[in-house]
A and B are shown apart, each in its own frame.
Chain A
């Protein structure tokens, strides 16, 4: 898909759920001048009520599971959920612990997975762009 086909700016909300911060840093690095996603109109916002895309990182810890669910419900439709990193996709190295309640898709439905530990900023941008394509199809009423 062509990036010029974005119809409006994309607002992204980042939800950390007990991650090691590696993926979180690469997400913020995507905003900095070398990768600079802001030129595509993609920005991080401070509240889920303004967001189109949720970026979730981390293997979900027990206390964060409820908050993740609540944030998902607070985000207005249409929305897309992008899971960044191996911890969120498949728990990565964090399995069989008393405080981890499983990969993100056990808590909320997920649209795009970006594996990696951590994935490069280019991969994260690619994931967000795929989520946007999905969103635009949903808004146009096409099947996804």
Chain B
């Protein structure tokens, strides 16, 4: 029997959001034997724009690189500029930056958990996690004024303080999530169908993760203890003694599959809650920024000369910004940004090998890509192209779950036909 190879290009557009990227899969029967990835549909030329504007405008641009990890890029950029220009940051501001960064981590991981549940076909879990996520968005709105794009950090400090009467509400939120934690872990980790769909699927071996320079929960789920907060302490993470979380911390043997990535992200939510609690206790009184007036700040930055690097552990992994400033020039002469999915792009190649087509949605989503997206799928059979929407892929994924679970699942969207 001869086997043929089909190419399946997958583009963007998905009912549950996401960005655009094109995958081309080579398939034999139901098995994937090769994959090619072409990003670039969401490339906006941010570094190019940033090198033609002044540094405060660059800050607002950096915030909108990604709407999910929207404080991660400003924190890295601000550290880079502060290191280049030698600007000091008061202690209270450092604690506030950490608190908002950890709140963002909680919201991002809950968002991802809902998306992963949707890819597998458990829409009730999607609605549950996103409903639960609204609580942390409420707190973020209370502290910063917006649900997304908080505009909290500024060179030299932060723009808003946390008032004493807001502490009890944050502590309420921590209690609420602690109470739900057991239930969340139970629904995701103790469910037989989730385990059957994710165990030994999309495996990334530790050697591969290290060679391909994977970062974030993708690397930690493969056993690498790699976390910028632990390895290269910045802000007050050194004082808090944050450690990288791997599946061993949950009592599991590390296999580097999709299930391990769920474990790591859920445990990190618990870790962030503890960090926020400690920050609220240990935060000293004091001023929140060392250069309160923006014109004075811009004048100082214009005179600054030097280069600096800033790093941050975003929910998806390491974010690094490099900035070079020259005296007399308002714009940064060089601005280089690296988002975490950039490093994790190459890990998709070994993960997709030998998987089934029905597993494409969950494996693609498991690195929590911040440029993901699927749209149309072209099935090339012997040179003739067929057009299939990602809806079909999702349907394949949901039907596989149904087969494995053996009970009826409500499949939304794919089956409903317009009369």
Contacts and interface: CB of A to CB of B under 8 A. Distances in A.
Q: Classify A-B as touching or not with yes or no (CB < 8 A).
A: yes
Interface of A: 11, 14-16, 18-29, 32-34, 43-47, 50, 58-59, 61, 63-64, 87, 92-100, 117-118, 120
Nearest to B62: A93
30 contacts: A14-B13, A18-B19, A20-B67, A21-B18, A21-B66, A21-B67, A22-B67, A22-B148, A25-B17, A25-B68, A25-B148, A26-B148, A27-B17, A32-B127, A32-B130, A32-B134, A44-B413, A46-B14, A47-B389, A58-B42, A63-B40, A64-B42, A93-B60, A97-B49, A99-B44, A100-B45, A117-B64, A117-B149, A118-B148, A118-B149
Contacts of B293: none
A93 B61 contact: yes
A24 B44 contact: no
Contacts of A117: 64, 149
Given A46-B390, A61-B43, A96-B52, A15 B13 contact: yes
A64 B12 CA distance: 10
Contacts of B373: 16
Interface of B: 12-20, 40-46, 48-49, 52, 57, 60-61, 64-68, 70, 111, 126-127, 130-131, 134, 147-149, 370, 373, 389-391, 394, 413-414, 418
A95 to B, nearest CB: 8
Contacts, number: 129
Contacts of A97: 44-46, 48-49
A100 B12 CA distance: 18
A50 B418 contact: yes
A82 to B, nearest CB: 16
B149 A24 contact: no
Contacts of B45: 97-100
A21 B370 contact: yes
A72 to B, nearest CB: 13
A94 B149 CA distance: 15
Contacts of B17: 14, 16, 21, 24-25, 27-28
Give the dominant DSSP class at B's interface: loop
Contact of B66 (A20, A28, A58, A120): A20
Contacts of B131: 32-34
A124 to B, nearest CB: 12
A105 B148 CA distance: 25
Contacts of A59: 44
Pick from B19, B46, B65, B111 the residue with the most CB of A within 10 Å: B19
B130 A118 contact: no
B391 A47 contact: yes
A93 B44 CA distance: 11
Contacts of A98: 45, 48
A14 to B, nearest CB: 7
Contacts of A61: 41-44
A95 B44 CA distance: 9
Given A43-B413, A87-B64, 5 more contacts: A24-B17, A28-B17, A32-B131, A94-B64, A120-B147
Given A32-B127, A50-B418, A16 B12 contact: yes
